[in-house]
Amino acid sequence: MSERHTVLRSMHDLGLAAWFGGSLMGAVGVNGAAAKVSDSRQRLGVASAGWARWTPVNAAAIGTHVAGAAGELITESPRMLVQSGVGKMSAVKTGLTVAALAVTGYSRLLGMQLQKSSEAPVVATTAPENGTPRDVAARQRQLRVLQWVIPALTGGLIVVTALAGEQQKPGQVYRGVLARMSGIGRRSRGLQQMTAGGMAARRIRGMAGKGMGGMAGKGMGGMAGKGMGGMAGKAMHGMAGKGMGGMVGRGMSGMTGRGMNGMAGKGRSGMTGEGVRAVLTRATSGMAGMRVARMAVAKLRH
């Protein structure tokens, strides 16, 4: 792509110059001259005639500027990506252009409406008098402000265009590219730090989950062991002190009635000789233990 864009730059600058100069001249010259007309009913008509003759030229100037500005925006888009500050400048310039277009179009619409009431008595193009119709006076008050807004916006465009030219100097390009690269590096480091921080947080949460699980398992195991041991000790103590007599009586009768019958039944049906002997041995030991317990309870009572 060619590095020279003389045609686009000329379209941009000439169109903007005509837009700015024409609006400023109209506010100062056309509207000011119309106020000098002696007949108050002809002042609005004279100003409207002057603006009507300028409108086609102004429209051509605006179109030329917009075309040149769009072409420059396309050709300078690579520099917007690599040079810091160019993107912001382009955004401001685009905003000013859109605002100036809107104000210019609305002002022309108001002027065309005033042209239809060109015989209304007025002090000046943007200044009503006592006999001016209310709708005409309302439009004149709006134009009194807008006639200066257009030169202000287009003058701002000229200033931003000068800034764009300064940004194209070799030193500015060099510093802008370095600033953009530094910014990308800082964002990259920040992203890496955020990623590392997120991974560390996940690891800590995982370790905390595992540690709490192990602590819960060990704690519950210890609590269960200690609790069951304590409960067993207290229960056995209470049983020895209060209910050993009842338990011995009921246990012996139950074992004699149910245990022996069940053991005999099971031994006859499904156990071998060795199994029967083992069961009988355990039962005999249990009965002997119960007798010892009964004797201990009897001594405690005496």
129-172, pLDDT tens digit by residue? 999 999 999 999 999 999 999 999 999 999 999 998 888 888 87
DSSP 3-state helix, strand, coil percentages of the chain (rounded to 5)?
A: 85, 0, 10
pLDDT number for residue 78: 82
Mind listing the pLDDT tens digit for each residue in 40-62?
999 999 999 999 999 999 999 99
Dist CA 81 CA 87 (whole Å):
7
Half-sphere exposure of 73 (CA within 13 A, CB side): 15
Reference 147, options 129, 127, 132; nearest CA is 127
**Cβ atoms within 10 Å of 76's Cβ, excluding its own:** 18
Lowest mean pLDDT among 74-83, 94-103, 166-175, 200-209: 200-209
Q: Is the pLDDT of residue 16 over 70?
A: yes
Question: Could you tell me how many residues make up the chain?
Answer: 302
pLDDT number for residue 3: 67
**Cβ atoms within 10 Å of 150's Cβ, excluding its own:** 23
User: Predicted confidence band at 76 (pLDDT cuts at 50, 70, 90)?
Assistant: confident
Tell me the C-alpha to C-alpha distance, in Å, between residue 151 and each of 36, 42, 105, 175. 23, 26, 14, 33
Lowest mean pLDDT among 39-53, 185-199, 277-291: 277-291
pTM of the model: 0.59
